[in-house]
Amino acid sequence: MIPGRPHGSAAGTNICPAYGMQPDEHPQKLAKLIESGLSALSRSLSTNVPPSQNINIMSSVRPATEGQLAQDLPGITAYITGHDKTSGDTIIRHTRPGKWQAVDNNGMAFNVPFTTSQFPVSMNNDADISTHDTRLASSKLGIVNPGGTVLRFVDFAPGFESMMHRTQSLDYGIVIAGSIELILDSGKRQVLQQGDCCVQRGTNHAWRNPSKDAWTRVAFILQDAKPIEMGDGSVLKEDLGRSAGKIPSSGND
């Protein structure tokens, strides 16, 4: 039996020696082999490779963007859609690589891809984009945007614990990479893993990255909210803790 040739094949039959395929079968079978190999590679990456190594692979493909402190995390790009004024076709209006701002002695870094300043939002003539660009350029944006929303990515350095703080807002926090520990001023603690989310409803809290060597990334969507009134009639206001004066006041309380 000739190596690479199925048992019983004629000596003169033209068979691909590597896979035992007839010439007309080669493209189809080769495509299936490639698909099978890619599937196996994907399973290997998802099950056998530690998450930190997967992140390093991604960061090499999507390099860090301007001001990014977390070099082991992939860079972020915001894609803002719109309509062509002439044809009405849907388009990618802007492609914007992230710009990061270091906070609290490089313990955190903020990246704000978009904000809104009214509800409902007017997107006519790209008014919302212009308003966002003006607001960001003012350097007066606090944690919350009065009357609107903020989309903010926050990278937390290994072992870093943020200031205890409270904002007059309803926030959605989604863990993108790593894990983060939520600390309430009551002493209650909760660790959130990658993919977990927190609905933050005006409580006084801090965030801590429990890892000793890996950065954590969380996406926050913050919405302006009415003041929280306590049972004794007191009203809770924004409190930025040790970062007061370093981070602008939101000005919505």
pLDDT in tens, 156-195: 999 999 999 999 999 999 999 999 999 999 999 999 999 9
Quote the CA–CA distance of 175 and 193 in Å, as a whole number.
7
Give the confidence band of 26 by pLDDT, cuts at 50, 70, 90: low
Tell whether the model's pLDDT for residue 9 goes beyond 50: no
- Can you give the pTM of this predicted structure? 0.77
Peptide bond into 158 cis (omega under 30): no
Count of Cβ atoms closer than 10 Å to residue 140 Cβ:
11
Quote the CA–CA distance of 160 and 210 in Å, as a whole number.
8
Q: What is the mean pLDDT of residues 219-227?
A: 97
Who wins on pLDDT, 224 or 42?
224
Q: How far apart are the first and last CA of the chain?
A: 85
pLDDT in tens, 41-75: 555 444 454 555 555 555 568 999 999 999 999 99
Give residue 242's pLDDT: 95
Give residue 10's pLDDT: 47
What percentage of residues in the chain have a pLDDT greater than 70? 76
What is the helix, strand, coil percentage profile of the chain, to 5?
A: 20, 35, 45
Side chain identity at 79, as an amino acid letter? Answer: Y
What is the fold of 100-243?
A: Jelly Rolls (2.60.120)
Do 38 and 32 meet the contact criterion of CB atoms below 8 Å apart?
A: no
Helices (H), 49-204: 51-61, 127-137
